[in-house]
Copies of this chain bind each other. A is one copy, B any other.
Amino acid sequence: MILPPYLLYIGKVADPLSVKTSRGIAVWRPELCLGQFRTTDDAIDLGLEDIGFEEAAARGARTLVLGIANAGGVIAPEMVEHVVQALRAGLDIASGLHQRLSSNPEISAVAQELGRTLWDVREPPADLKVGKGVRRAGKRLLTVGTDCSVGKMYTTLALEREMRARGINADFRATGQTGILIAGSGMPIDAVVADFISGAVEQLSPAREDGGWDLIEGQGSLFHPSFAGVSLGLLHGSQPDAVVLCHEAGRVRMRGMAVHTVPDLALCLERNLEAARLTNPDVIPVGIALNTASLTPEAAKRACAEAEDLLGLPCQDPVAMGVDRIIDRFGACFAL
């Protein structure tokens, strides 16, 4: 478990897309964020206090979080210097970067010398096992999607927030690097060895006896030619009792694909349910999360109403409308 409070590293990054992960942490876990570290006023401002490494450590920060995208996949010399300063100030480091912290000799040596922990959240655990497929205790919800990048992480976090607000015991289970940094732990499912996909999910969301729900972040899509294997293993390992289908209104082509079009919602849901029944025959759909960012508010309402009529499930945009009606249905189905 990555220890909070966090100091979020921005450095000199001025491109909003490159701080997506740090922003996610600031939005979803503000109570864990002590401040941000920036080297220039032109850098992105997440609305947190600007704090240096020494002061952050003195005020109780435990971990510097590198929630930024690094050009070229390599840790720049300036960032290495900052990481070493943070280690010396007393902080652990958590990173969602492609290049592993532990692969940098200087960072690795200083961390070892000082006994600090380096968290490379894209690095899967070494002790994974193949999936057992045996039904396990506890309740699980999985978000599934028509495509990559349609809002599965956001939706899962929104469901957690709404359930907790209603006093329902529920925990977000992260499967991607941004989600893992938000949650403080998780499983980088697309980085595990292929044989262990479903087993890794069984480890992420083990048998649960407290009556609470695991809300598992989906990845990819059964209809994505590059990543469907990950999505299927994730579906089987999750053994979901409930699924929420995520889609982006107006998207025509599958992400990164020249030819493949986004599947029909009804077909996509049916294929997910068919496959999910292999490990949980009782799976049911409880709602649709529609990303309507590209629509006017009026068009967004119409698109949700159409999807509701089509599938007979509550449909909301978690960003613009919340997820209360999805949780109403979910609660009714499971007597929560």
Contacts and interface: CB of A to CB of B under 8 A. Distances in A.
A228 interface: yes
A224 B230 CA distance: 14
Interface stretch (A59-67, A77-85, A192-200, A301-309): A192-200
Interface in A283-313: none
Nearest to A236: B225
Given A225-B278, A232-B228, A260 B133 contact: yes
A194 to B, nearest CB: 5
A257 B195 CA distance: 15
A138 interface: no
B223 A228 contact: no
Contact of A199 (B195, B226, B257, B275): B226
A278 B225 CA distance: 7
- Give the one of A225, A275, A278 with max B CB within 10 A: A225
Contact of A132 (B189, B197, B226, B279): B226
A96 interface: no
A3 interface: no
A275 B195 CA distance: 19
Given A133-B257, A134-B259, A228 B194 contact: no
Nearest to A229: B233
Identical chains in the assembly: 2
A190 B193 contact: yes
Interface in A241-279: 254, 257-260, 271, 274-275, 278-279
A191 interface: yes
B195 A193 contact: no
A229 B226 contact: no
Interface string A208-234: 000000000000001111111111111
Contact of A225 (B131, B189, B194, B222): B131
A130 interface: yes
A279 B260 CA distance: 8
Nearest to A225: B133
- Give the one of A232, A274, A279 with max B CB within 10 A: A232
A172 to B, nearest CB: 21
A40 to B, nearest CB: 34
Nearest to A227: B195
Contact of A192 (B194, B236, B278): B194
A34 to B, nearest CB: 33
B227 A130 contact: yes
B195 A230 contact: yes
- In order of increasing CB-CB distance, the 6 nearest A-B pairs are A133-B225, A229-B233, A190-B195, A229-B229, A131-B226, A197-B229
11 contacts: A133-B224, A189-B194, A191-B195, A193-B193, A194-B194, A197-B230, A198-B227, A228-B232, A228-B236, A228-B275, A229-B230
